[in-house]
Structure 1
């Protein structure tokens, strides 16, 4: 899986589906600023159609948040070797920052 450019503040949704093996996984990454200038990276994962799990990490700067997101995407890129089916990009939301 090729790592897409990180669109800060736009969610990234990944899915891995293989009906023959009953694999239906989702993974979502969202980066958002907090009120104090830090960046929050929220990741959520689980079986499609379930509540799943989530985790939030705070980073003092944008570069740290981008490195963390890149590491997550690298790990998701190796899913085919681990679970037998690759993750694919389900959707991204393009945000218009012009106003």
Structure 2
């Protein structure tokens, strides 16, 4: 007996064909102190690529400038979560380091 499997790309009711992975997120923070000329911008974007890798993109710099960016890839969600937690901890400690805290935008 030969069994033929048929694959369809029809989404279930209420779903999109291109559903976002539940782990995907975007964070945006700014630290501003006009009296000390501090205007910092920090963006953190997390996504999953086609091969299942967790991609963490970071962009930072002075508000209005091109700034810098780094892209890191992780094979497991746990490794990506640890990395993201360390970034968030560092942003939370900005008040002590630079004298002004980051606020979520």
TM bracket, shorter-chain basis: 0.7 to 0.9
For structure 2, list consecutive stretches of 5 or more residues without a partner in the other structure.
1-21
CA-atom RMSD in angstroms: 1.1
Name 1:27's counterpart in structure 2.
42
Deviations 1:26-64 (A, max 9, x none): 101000111111100000100000110000000001111
Matched, 1:55 2:70: yes
After superposing the two structures, state which structure 1 stretch, 17-26 or 58-67, moved more.
58-67
Q: Give the Cα separation in 2 of the matches to 1:10 and 1:47.
A: 22
CA–CA distance in structure 1, aligned partners of residues 24 and 54 of structure 2: 10
* Number of residue pairs the alignment of both structures matches: 84
Normalized against structure 1, the TM-score is what? Answer: 0.81
Moved over 6 A (4+): none
Q: TM-score, normalising length from structure 2?
A: 0.77
